[in-house]
Structure 1
Amino acid sequence: MSRPTIARVARAAGVSVASVSRVLNGLPATEEMAERVRRAVEELGYVPDARARSLKVGRTFQLTLAVADVGNPVYVTMMRAVEEVVSAAGYRLVVTTTGPDVVDEVALVRGMARGYADGLVISPLRVDDDLIKSIRECDVPVVVAGNVPARAGVDTVRANSPKGMLLAVEHLLAKGRRRIAFVNGPVDTVPGSARAKGFREAMKANELQAVGEVEAADFTFAAGRAAGKELLGESAYEAGSRGDGPAATARLDAVICANDLLAVGIMHELGARGLAVPAEVAVIGMDDSELAEQSFPPLTSVNLGSAERGRRAAELLLARIEDDSRPPRRIVVQPTLSVRSST
């Protein structure tokens, strides 16, 4: 039996070939028309010929999502949200890792000129003038899931990290915690800079002084364990090993971490020293990833809307592909606090 064609789908649905194409490409159509086309596609087992489609319209119908670390749960959540939006519009999603180096981010953006994708959503860990220039000169539309200067002239979707930090500090105060420490990732990164600024502003607004601040080497679990050693110090380790937990934490009763991986690393380090969470030290993460629910105890975390940011970024990219002349949009997603047992 010959392969079903778009013309056969149109005849079966009782609509024009153009109408079938609109539905399959995710373009506006009446619900009745869309349902008839979907039913005909399913009954005939029609599969679009991606190669012919690409040659005809000058598109690959492929989009790229670039993140620093595909193993980070927050990027997994974002990826799922982006994929859901673009697949509904008839696009495939390719996910790639840039790593932490801005040079690799620039190389990826410039590589889009090879024509293997129709657009890019990038969540850069670091931003410099070369990256901004490469985005502005990119041959395909680019949306940044993160924060770049307005002069970049690009669609952006970012989290309100400072407000998220304020939610975390105020929650700890409501729990009676005032001796608060902060564990950040590298401050020369986009999230590290925003969260350091937000933490200090939130503490100042509540007339508090941090009892300690540590800059971890990375936003990873291992970096969180190492930061815990630095924050608590060897004397705290010795006290904890003797079972003298409360004395070991006399100088702090809460820790806010710049992401969930760091927070879980901190909780492991506290546990290794015999310090109870949250009885002796409360811990808050940021991102509210799946890891927050899976940790023990479950982690209180600031939800920075990674799924919403992914959805909005994908929508902006599709809109930019359809109309490259419209002014760039800068969207800010507001945070919420997911309270669990770690506080």
Structure 2
Amino acid sequence: MARAAGVSVASVSRVLNGQPATPEMADKVRRAAEELSYVPDSRARSLKVGRTFQLTLAVADVGNPVYVTMMRAVESVVAAAGYRLVVTTTGPDVVDEVALVRGMARGYADGLVISPLRVDDDLIKSIRECEVPVVVAGSVPASAGVDTVRANSPKGMTLAVGHLKQAGRKRIAFVNGPADTVPGEARARGFAEAMKKFGLTPAGTVEAADFTFAAGRAAGPKLLKHTWPDAIVCANDLLAVALMHVLAERGLKVPDDVAVIGMDDSELAEQSFPPLTSVNLGSAERGRRAAELLLARIEDATRAPRRIVVQPTLSVRRSTP
């Protein structure tokens, strides 16, 4: 291959092993590899450099569209650096999150991006003691001393409530997921702060059992049993679409009778009917930044931890006036 690329054997090795190389050199090697249909022996490569060239992304629910968006962003970054991405589900239980982090010692991956639903001292301890680099896509205390990328959910709630008030809606209700989760706590706090900022009193709140469509279907009737809102803010798009189904079953029109806003601005928001207004929390950007932090940590384990906050935007569609 070195002869076909017109470079030295050492240069070929550097490019194929993901080590620093000039763009011109990397392009020559990749072109030669394509022409020769070269497939590297991953086992030999791993033994030689002491890496698996495999990274793991762990999320609570791979069926949630927001995690699919994050996964695609992470994969695009790590693939360009020569890594494969393995995606796994932790579920909602922090015990399973801890078990996964501790299991990284088995050596099947060179690093981990984890987006935990729940965080406790055991999880933070396991991340600190993990034998491979870990980046958290979510919120953990600064004292944890790890790289993190998180969304600004409270600001997102301010955008949502402000949009509804500007549209003339005042009886605004809130459908949250479990409040003892990282996103549930942040979004409940953000909703309360936003309502206070705009001088409004919540028309009602309900806590769904999970951040899923089924949980939203179950929570909707509970909310509407005790209140008659003219707008509903939901903690994610799955809950929001579920609420639109519940409203339709009751003969209520969205947004004429009740406006609905979701959070995450996933693909589901554009696919729903009517298309859902949603707070974009930058899931693709968070995935990209988390992947970049992980690659940087793999190359330099001694650098200071970084804490990145991705700011939200509001995608206005037909579910609000």
Under TM normalisation by the shorter chain, which class is it?
over 0.9
| TM-score, structure 2 normalization | 0.98
Of 209, 228, 231, which aligns to 1:254?
231
User: 2:32: which partner in 1?
Assistant: 40
Asked whether 1:328 is paired with 2:320, we answer no
Instruction: Output the TM-score relative to the length of structure 1.
Output: 0.92
The residue type paired with residue 73 of structure 2 is A
Is 1:164 matched with 2:156?
A: yes
Deviation at 1:25, TM superposition (A): 3.7
Cα deviations by residue, 1:134-161 (Å, 9 ceiling, x for unpaired) = 0000000000000000111100000000
Cα separation, 2, equivalents of 1:13 and 1:74: 41
Deviations 1:98-151 (A, max 9, x none): 000000000000000111110000000000000000000000000000000011
Verify: 1:153 aligned to 2:130, yes or no.
no
Amino acid at match of 2:22: T
1:46 maps to a residue whose letter is Y
- Kept in 2: contact 1:24–1:89 (CA 8 A): no
CA shift at 1:26, angstroms? 3.8
1:243-269 deviations in whole A, cap 9, x for unaligned?
Answer: xxxxxx7x3100000000000010000
Alignment of 1:279 with 2:256, yes or no, is yes
Equivalent residues in 2 for 1:172-321, closer than 5 Å: 172-233=164-225, 251-321=228-298
Asked if the contact 2:17–2:45 (Cα under 8 Å) also holds between the matched residues in 1, the reply is: no
Give the whole-Å Cα distance in 1 for the aligned partners of 2:285 and 2:2.
Answer: 35
- Is the 1:26–1:88 contact (alpha carbons within 8 Å) kept by the matching residues of 2? no
Counting only pairs closer than 5 Å after superposition, residues 14-163 of structure 1 correspond to structure 2 as 14-163=6-155
SS at match of 2:26: helix
Superposed displacement of residue 20, structure 1: 2.1
Aligned-pair CA distance for 1:325:
0.2
Q: Supply the distance in 1 between the matched residues of 2:277 and 2:86 (Cα, whole angstroms).
A: 32
Deviations 1:161-188 (A, max 9, x none): 0110000011111111111000000000
Q: CA deviation at 1:227?
A: 1.2
Task: Return the alpha-carbon distance in structure 1 between the equivalents of residues 14 and 76 of structure 2.
Answer: 18
Q: Does 1:342 align with 2:315?
A: no
CA offsets 1:31-73 (integer angstroms, 9 cap, x no match): 2222211211111111111000000011111111000000000
**Stretch of structure 1 that moved more, 13-22 or 85-94:** 13-22
Distance 2:92 2:9 in 1: 47
Once residues 298 and 94 of structure 2 are traced to their aligned partners in structure 1, the CA distance between those partners, rounded to angstroms, is 25
Determine the structure 2 residue equivalent to 1:240: none
Checking the alignment, whether the CA contact within 8 Å between 1:27 and 1:89 is kept in structure 2 is no
Match of 2:170, SS state, is coil
CA distance in 1, matches of 2:55, 2:90: 16
Counterpart-to-counterpart distance in 2, 1:58 and 1:338: 45
Q: Contact 1:124 / 1:145 at 8 angstroms: preserved in 2?
A: yes
- Alpha-carbon offset, residue 226 of structure 1: 1.2
What's the C-alpha RMSD, in Å, of the aligned pairs? 1.1
Displaced runs of 4+ in structure 1, greater than 6 A?
Answer: none
Percent identity at matched positions?
A: 84
8 Å CA contact retained: 1:25, 1:89: no
Query: What is the CA–CA distance in structure 2 between the aligned matches of 1:150 and 1:252, rounded to whole Å?
Result: 38
Q: Which moved more, 1:324-333 or 1:11-20?
A: 11-20
The answer as to whether partners of 2:260 and 2:276 remain within 8 angstroms in 1 is yes
Give the gaps of 5 or more residues in structure 1.
1-8, 235-248
Unaligned runs of 5+ residues in structure 2 are: none
Q: Does the 8 A contact of 1:119 with 1:141 survive in 2? A: yes
